[in-house]
Amino acid sequence: MSRYYTRACNFYFGKQSKILVNKKQSIPLHQIKEISFDHVEIITRKKIRKISINKIRNLPKKLKIKINSDLKKIKSKKSNFSNLNFKKIPNILGILNLTPDSFSDGGKFNKKNKGISHAVNLYKNGASIIDVGGESTRPGSKPVNEKEEWNRINKILKLIVKKIPISLDTRKSLIMENGIRLGVKLINDVSGLSYDSNTINILKKYKTPFVIQHSIGTPENMQNNPKYKNELLDIYDYFEDKIKLIRATGIKHNNIILDPGIGFGKNLKHNMNLIRRISIFHSLGFPILVGNSRKRFIKDISKQNDSNGRIGGTMASSIYLMMQGIQILRIHDVNEVMQGIKVFNEIINN
């Protein structure tokens, strides 16, 4: 029997969305009238069928039950956590890399005064929370030990964590626990909680919100010819299985974010298919985070290699992702992206 997946599509935004929702001609995403949709794609591993929401009632009984179950998750209101406001789309997760070798800004902010100043500026420019990392996970990067990673971040972390909402970008349970004790509001583990077997125990102990990111292999080897049967559905299944595992360990809260991991074990085709149909992940029932900022897919498409010259591609993909209802964008250039979002909202709402 075929496995069915539901993707909300044909989105409306702003004033037009509110009008259609009030007329019951579109369905609001997570009870937000400002973004809604009036079609769904019914997806299997063999075909995709697109239908309007008013034709769901005509589907065979078992399929109709499945689609309506998914729609219930897509429509469900999201509770706020970690200084993220899910009544608005998108929230911005500002990036503070305290590393010498990150792909875009390695060595730029890893001195105390520069790091603190950059965190403050990201927050003032509109980031809801700042993602602090002390270990590069760019393609080809090698792991650093716990002591070195903690030494890179602990002084700056102690100085800003009480003033600015902080997310901690780490794969190691010891670093997580140290950060949580200082007041970190979110754990962002690029390994999908798989790198360190103690991670889940720490997250359960402190009931800390966290991000589950999809990746293949490790940063050292993840770009060595990554393969999928179907990247979109394989990653969807990965999230379902990971959530079941997390529930089985006793983590019952819903303060969980899903990140499909753009660039983490994906080539250009994989990345584009994921971004293009990113709204499929809404039917899992959790907020979605996408790290599109300055990523290699922008270079591959534009043929421009400088990672600092990818703001145009970041902005274009950010607007598209926002219009697919993505709740969180992980961004380097917060001021520029916030400016673009404000201009877009002014155009669409007036």
Last residue of a domain, one of 30, 45, 75: 75
58 with 114, same domain: the answer is no
Specify whether 66 is located in the same domain as 214: no
Domain encompassing residue 193:
91-349
| Token couple for 297 | 């897919």
Both 157 and 286 in one domain: the answer is yes
Residue 90's pLDDT is: 97
**Judgement on whether residues 187 and 64 belong to the same structural domain of the protein:** no
Residue 95 has a pLDDT of 95
209, two tokens: 């919100």
Residues 49 and 124 reside in one and the same domain? no
Which domain CATH number covers 189? 3.20.20.20
Q: Has residue 86 been placed in a domain?
A: no
**80 belongs to a structural domain:** no
* Alpha-carbon distances of 57 from 66, 183, 331, 334, rounded to whole Å: 12, 48, 40, 43
- Choose from 99-103, 112-116, 239-243 the range with maximum mean pLDDT: 239-243
7-46 pLDDT, tens digit per residue, is 999 999 999 999 999 999 999 999 999 999 999 999 999 9
For every residue of the chain, which 3-state class applies, written as one string?
Answer: CCCCEEEEEEEEEHHHHHHHHHCCCCEEECCEEEEEEEEEEEECCCCEEEEEHHHHHHCCHHHHHHHHHHHHHHHCCCCCECCECCCCCCEEEEEEECCCCCCCCCCCCCCHHHHHHHHHHHHHCCCCEEEEECCCCCCCCCCCCHHHHHHHHHHHHHHHCCCCCEEEECCCHHHHHHHHHHCCCEEEECCCCCCCCCHHHHHHHHCCCEEEECCCCCCCCCCCCCCCCCHHHHHHHHHHHHHHHHHHCCCCCCCEEEECCCCCCCCHHHHHHHHHCHHHHHHHCCCEEECCCCCHHHHHHHCCCCHHHCHHHHHHHHHHHHHCCCCEEEECCHHHHHHHHHHHHHHHHC
As a whole number, mean pLDDT of residues 320-341 equals: 97
19 and 157 housed in the same domain: no
Percent of the chain residues past pLDDT 70, beyond the cut: 94
- pLDDT for res 138: 74
Cα separation, 256 vs 242, in Å, equals: 11
From 43, 75, 107, the end of a domain falls on 75
pLDDT at 110 over 60: no
Would the pLDDT of 139 be above 80? no
Residues 277 and 169 in one domain: yes
pLDDT tens for 50-78 read 999 999 999 999 999 999 999 999 999 99
Query: Is 22 part of a structural domain of the chain?
Result: yes
Give me the number of domains the chain comprises: 2
Q: What is the pTM of this model?
A: 0.93
Q: Average pLDDT for residues 94-99, to the nearest whole number?
A: 91
Q: Between these two residues, 220 and 151, which has the higher pLDDT value? A: 151
What is the residue-averaged pLDDT of the chain? 93
Least confidently predicted of 35-44, 113-122, 276-285: 113-122
Q: Are residues 43 and 127 in the same domain?
A: no
Between 218 and 251, residue with greater pLDDT: 251
Predicted local confidence at residue 338, as pLDDT: 97
Residue 82 inside a domain? The answer is no
The pLDDT of residue 111 is 59
| Residue reference for tokens 């079609």 | 39
Q: What is the pLDDT of residue 303?
A: 86
> Same domain for 172 and 125?
yes
Distances (CA, A) of 16 to 11, 22, 65, 91: 10, 10, 29, 22
The answer to whether residue 81 is domain-embedded is no
Do residues 232 and 116 share a domain?
A: yes
- Same domain, residue pair 29 and 138: no
Which amino acid does the sequence have at 33? K
Last residue of a domain, one of 75, 107, 130: 75
pLDDT at position 350: 73
The answer to whether residue 117 sits within a structural domain is yes
Task: Examine the domain organization and report whether 113 and 27 are in the same domain.
Answer: no
- Beta strand 210-213 with 256-259 is parallel
Q: What pLDDT is recorded for position 123?
A: 97
Token digits of residue 190: 């690029």
Catalytic center residues = 295, 330
Task: Please report whether residue 331 resides in a domain.
Answer: yes
pLDDT (tens digit, 9 = 90+) per residue, 79-88? 999 999 999 9
Give the model's pLDDT for residue 106.
44
Cα 50 to Cα 38, 39, 63, 157, 183: the distances in Å are: 11, 7, 14, 48, 45
Confidence of residue 105 (pLDDT cuts 50, 70, 90): very low
Higher pLDDT, 16 or 304: 16
Q: In this structure, is residue 83 part of a structural domain?
A: no
pLDDT of residue 108: 54
